[in-house]
């Protein structure tokens, strides 16, 4: 009996040791993952990620995610029975596999890679709050924010300098594609590959830095955080990205309402009318603050640029690619064409990489075949690539997370700041997906944070966050 007891004790200690080692490895991997994803949007380093070496690195990241996800499943093997959300995610992976097999004639290898990318990252990041303690998860995200922002700030400073000095040029990447740099067409591309994704990266880093500032009492760290927030805010404004403006405004208003509701629920006799009035009042204040911040950054930068470069155009920040006839910047045309394409395979879709090869082969004169445009909408991308079956499965998953969150918010207990942060982060990414697609089946920082956020919300709603380890 003593031998058996000793054996159980040793096994328990061994599991604790292995879990702690796994936690450290995952934290290091998250930081590396974030640095890699932001570096691919920074032209001076993105050039390094082209060609065979880049392909090897990308696949190595997927393999790393796969190995860590299997280790996570091994650690969680003795957990309680599967919940409906986990079952839905398993069904979605199965649907994606079926879709890949049905579209084997077009980009089978790419579809399998997309499936592996989605499955490995989803399992790893979604179950992360069950592996890491909440304190360790927070510290890991703080360190990720600091290291990523330090690298990103260099790009923001250089890009803002390009605007002030009216620098603009084009370069060719190793694949021969033209990449705009500096201030071009009323937008600050800067040193980044795309002002929309670059601005959203800045927005994501602002959220992470605010979270870090709230969680630390170290004054120099607060100074660095606020300085980084100012730099990234400057770039967002000068990027002239309407989608990011909407995402930022929507997220800020959502956060304000959430905080107001949190305070409202903590009061015993708070009326619904008072909550509504308070929300409207704070919303007006936030709107005024946003307009003030925009004015205090945009107009001084524009004035400085005009003083240093008097010959520059007065309307250098007016986008010529957008007018009343093309307010969506061709997105409406792209969406219509993809909806027409979806009707050909409505159940399981075209899988991750098959839609454009299919339309190029079958309809070479089609708008999509000629332009090779992606969907520019995450939800439409999900519908076209996984069909109605996959769309409904994933939609049900997010709906359940939403309903659970509403149920939790209606409780008398106030939710933590971490909960507010992850909820706001989720809303921000979901708004971003209205006009951009590149999240579910690829490697980027939005993918990682979205899966971590919904995993955290799910665990918090269920009361199953990992307790602090000894």
Distance CA 97, CA 272 (A): 47
For 331, the token pair is 């997105």
Q: How do strand 168-172 and strand 178-184 relate by DSSP bridges?
A: antiparallel
Please report the DSSP string for 97-145 in residue order.
Answer: HHHHHHTTTTTHHHHHHHHHHHHHHHHHHHTHHHHS-HHHHHHHHHHHH
For 418, the token pair is 């971490």
Quick check: 200 and 244 in contact, CB under 8 A?
yes
Backbone angles phi, psi at 387, to 5 degrees: 75, -175
Burial (CB count within 10 angstroms: exposed 0-12, middle 13-18, buried 19+), residue 412? exposed
Series of mean pLDDT values for 10-residue runs along the chain (470 residues): 52 63 87 89 74 77 88 76 84 90 83 86 88 85 91 92 88 73 86 88 91 84 92 92 87 84 65 74 86 88 82 69 64 84 87 84 82 83 89 92 85 76 89 80 86 90 59
**Helix, strand, or coil (residue 176):** coil
Q: Give the Å distances, CA to CA, from 79 to 82, 159, 236.
A: 8, 49, 43
Quick check: 260 and 252 in contact, CB under 8 A?
no
Q: What pLDDT shows up at residue 470? A: 29
User: 17: Cβ–Cβ under 8 A, 6 or more apart, which residues?
Assistant: none
For 244, the token pair is 């990011």
| Strands laid side by side in the 168-172 sheet | 168-172, 178-184, 187-190
- Note the maximum CA span of the chain: 89
Nearest to 184 by CA among 316, 47, 84: 316
Nearest to 99 by CA among 326, 393, 353: 353
Backbone angles phi, psi at 42, to 5 degrees: -110, 105
**Which single residue is written with the structure tokens 């979901």?**
430
Prediction pTM value: 0.89
Q: What pLDDT shows up at residue 229? A: 93
Quick check: 465 and 459 in contact, CB under 8 A?
yes
Distance CA 68, CA 326 (A): 45
Q: What pLDDT shows up at residue 266? A: 62
Q: CA-based angle 379:384:390, to the nearest 5?
A: 75
Distance CA 49, CA 208 (A): 25
Nearest to 242 by CA among 312, 326, 137, 159: 326
Distance CA 204, CA 376 (A): 19
């Amino acid at each position: 009996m003593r031998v058996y007891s000793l054996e159980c004790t040793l096994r328990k200690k061994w599991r604790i040791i292995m879990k702690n080692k796994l936690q450290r490895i995952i934290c290091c991997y998250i930081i590396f993952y974030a640095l890699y994803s932001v570096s691919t949007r920074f032209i001076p380093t993105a050039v390094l990620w082209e060609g065979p070496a880049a392909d090897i690195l990308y696949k190595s990241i997927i393999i790393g995610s796969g190995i860590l996800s299997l280790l996570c499943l091994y650690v969680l093997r003795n957990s309680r029975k599967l919940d409906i959300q986990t079952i839905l995610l398993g069904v979605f992976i199965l649907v994606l596999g079926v879709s890949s097999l049905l579209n084997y004639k077009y980009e089978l290898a790419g579809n399998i890679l997309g499936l592996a990318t989605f499955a490995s990252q989803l399992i790893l990041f979604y179950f992360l709050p069950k592996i890491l303690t909440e304190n360790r998860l927070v510290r890991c995200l703080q360190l990720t924010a600091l290291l990523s922002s330090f690298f990103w700030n260099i790009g923001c400073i250089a890009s803002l300098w390009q605007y002030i000095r009216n620098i603009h040029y084009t370069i060719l990447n190793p694949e021969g594609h033209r990449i705009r740099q500096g201030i071009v067409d009323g937008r600050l591309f800067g040193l980044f590959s795309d002002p929309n994704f670059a601005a959203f990266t800045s927005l994501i880093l602002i959220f992470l830095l605010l979270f870090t500032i709230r969680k630390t009492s170290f004054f120099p760290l607060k100074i660095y955080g606020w300085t980084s927030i100012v730099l990234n805010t400057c770039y967002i404004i000068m990027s002239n990205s309407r989608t990011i403006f909407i995402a930022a405004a929507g997220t800020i208003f959502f956060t304000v309402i959430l905080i107001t509701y949190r305070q409202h629920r903590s009061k015993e006799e708070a009326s619904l009318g008072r909550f509504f009035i308070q929300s409207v009042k704070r919303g007006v204040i936030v709107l005024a603050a946003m307009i003030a911040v925009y004015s205090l950054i945009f107009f001084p930068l524009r004035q400085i640029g005009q003083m240093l470069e008097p010959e520059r155009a007065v309307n250098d920040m007016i986008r010529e690619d957008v007018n009343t006839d093309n307010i969506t910047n061709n997105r409406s045309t792209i969406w219509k064409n993809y909806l027409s394409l979806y009707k050909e395979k409505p159940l399981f879709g075209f899988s991750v990489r098959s839609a454009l090869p299919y339309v190029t082969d079958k309809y070479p004169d089609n708008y999509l075949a000629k332009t090779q445009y992606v969907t520019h909408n995450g939800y439409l991308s999900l519908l076209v690539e996984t069909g109605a079956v996959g769309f409904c499965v994933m939609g049900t998953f997010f709906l359940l997370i939403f309903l659970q969150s509403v149920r939790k918010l209606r409780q008398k207990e106030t939710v933590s700041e971490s909960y507010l942060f992850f909820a706001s982060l989720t809303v921000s990414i979901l708004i971003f997906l209205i006009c951009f697609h590149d999240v579910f089946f690829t490697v980027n920082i939005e993918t990682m944070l979205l899966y971590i956020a919904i995993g955290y919300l799910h665990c918090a709603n269920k009361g199953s966050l990992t307790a602090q380890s000894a």
